[in-house]
């Protein structure tokens, strides 16, 4: 049976959400999130590899939310939530999965880290710069979602799960407002999904 290590409101929400969308059986281990503030070091969570999410599947143990999502869809998705390799939507599917964590999330993560440390002004201008970078990534998404319900068009996919968590963080950090109407509408659609509601509740 699959086992997910999860801390509330962290990136493990993505995998919790995915497992719920796919209605797969799994065991959930909720571990308290310990912010890696000095003198604590990163990779100190009570999970394999010290990060959340982590997933166990028999002898396999994985971390990195995007890789876990791709693995679960490939192994257990039965064609759901992912365009097949070689089909036209496969490339944008992969692009948005990696954009969500590799480009759009890092400035948001840096803002969160400064908030946790309580020293947002220690490096003058740093948080303002992160907000500019995050805003630029959100602008890319705002354009990409013009006339579309989801990143790949009409159909919801795993790419929306990866991006949905990034956008939730943007919302939690006060970066999503009516001047990005496509994103506001998109996130509202995602928040209406019961599987995300469950992943955010626990
Ligand atoms: N790129 C990784 C990031 C994982 C990550 O850094 N998770 C955070 C929670 S959102 C964490 O475990 N932080 C604790 C630490 O670094 O000790 C992913 O997408 O899974």
Residue-level pLDDT at 119: 72
Residue 42 CA: nearest ligand 1 atom is: 17
Q: Give backbone dihedrals phi and psi of 26, rounded to 5 degrees, phi first.
A: -160, 160
**Total length of the chain:** 202
- Residue identifier of the C-alpha nearest atom 6 of ligand 1: 51
d(CA 88, CA 90): 6
Q: How far is the CA of 196 from the centre of ligand 1 (A)?
A: 19
Residue-level pLDDT at 117: 79
Residue-level pLDDT at 36: 82
d(CA 191, CA 87): 28
Residue-level pLDDT at 121: 64
Q: Which residue from 4, 7, 6, 13 is spatially nearest to 167, judged by alpha carbons?
A: 13
Residue 104 CA from chain centroid, whole number: 10
Measure the CA angle with vertex 93, ends 151 and 201; round to 5°: 65
Best residue among 11, 70, 162 to mutate for probing ligand 1's pocket (most ligand atoms within 8 Å of CB) is: 11
Ligand 1 first shell, C-beta below 6 A: 10-11, 36, 42-45, 50-53, 63-66, 101
The series of mean pLDDT values per 10 residues for the chain, 202 residues long, is: 97 98 98 86 93 98 98 98 97 98 96 79 79 96 98 98 98 92 98 98 86
Q: How far is the CA of 14 from the centre of ligand 1 (A)?
A: 12
Best residue among 52, 112, 116 to mutate for probing ligand 1's pocket (most ligand atoms within 8 Å of CB) is: 52
Residue-level pLDDT at 120: 64
- Running DSSP on this structure, what letter comes out for residue 186? H
**pTM, to two decimals:** 0.96
Residue-level pLDDT at 138: 97
- Residue identifier of the C-alpha nearest atom 11 of ligand 1: 51
Best residue among 44, 51, 172 to mutate for probing ligand 1's pocket (most ligand atoms within 8 Å of CB) is: 51
Element holding 169 (H helix, E strand):
helix 158-172
């Amino acid at each position: 049976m699959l086992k997910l290590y999860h801390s509330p409101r962290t990136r493990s929400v993505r995998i919790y959400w995915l497992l719920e969308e796919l209605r797969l059986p799994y065991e959930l281990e909720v571990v308290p999130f310990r912010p890696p503030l000095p003198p604590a070091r990163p990779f100190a969570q009570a999970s394999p590899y010290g990060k959340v999410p982590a997933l166990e599947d028999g002898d396999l143990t994985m971390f990195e939310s995007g890789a876990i999502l791709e693995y679960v869809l490939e192994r257990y998705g039965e064609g759901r939530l992912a365009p097949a390799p070689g089909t036209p939507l496969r490339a944008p599917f992969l692009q948005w999965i990696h954009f969500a964590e590799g480009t759009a999330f890092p400035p948001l993560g840096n803002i969160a880290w400064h908030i946790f440390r309580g020293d947002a002004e220690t490096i003058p201008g740093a948080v303002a710069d992160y907000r500019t970078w995050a805003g630029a990534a959100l602008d890319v998404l705002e354009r990409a979602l013009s006339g579309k319900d989801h990143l790949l068009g009409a159909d919801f996919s795993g790419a929306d799960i990866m991006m949905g968590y990034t956008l939730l963080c943007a919302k939690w950090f006060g970066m999503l407002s009516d001047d990005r109407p496509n994103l506001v509408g998109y996130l509202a659609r995602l928040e209406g999904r019961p599987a995300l509601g469950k992943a955010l509740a626990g």
